[in-house]
Amino acid sequence: MLLLLVSSVKLVAEIALLAFAGQWLLGLLAGARREQNLFYKLLQVLTNPFIRGARWVAPRRIVIDRHLPLVAFLLLAFAWLAATITKISLCLESGVNLCR
């Protein structure tokens, strides 16, 4: 049960990290017209809950709104790293065959 929870957290973090990376890359390619791009808007829908979570965690006086996507990305990266380390330790404890 714990392995399923850790794997789910890892999967959500991976999807969100890829959405942030895709949004950043598409923003570079589209330039000023990125707000009219359908795929950019779709990636914004995927990343907005994590940006709102970053605003909830980050102090408003220190972190400006423009830096919230970076804060959210870093929080997700740490969550992914923690989930990966936890999953590895759980798999080593219970046996690698049970983790497949």
Region of residue 11 (phi > 0: left; psi between -120 and 50: alpha; otherwise: beta):
alpha
**What is the pLDDT confidence band of residue 100, given thresholds at 50, 70 and 90?**
confident
pTM of the model: 0.89
**What is the pLDDT confidence band of residue 66, given thresholds at 50, 70 and 90?**
very high
Question: Which phi and psi (to 5°) does residue 28 adopt?
Answer: -65, -40
Average pLDDT over every residue of 77-87: 97
CB atoms within 10 A of CB 61: 6
CB 16 within 8 Å of CB 76:
yes
CA-CA distance, 94 to 21, in Å (whole number)? 34
Per domain, the residue ranges of the chain are: 2-99
Average pLDDT over every residue of 28-53: 93
Does 87 score more than 90 pLDDT? Answer: yes
Nearest of 55, 35, 32, 54 to residue 43 by alpha carbon: 35
Instruction: List, for residues 43-57, the tens digit of each pLDDT value.
Output: 999 999 999 999 999
CB 23 within 8 Å of CB 43:
yes
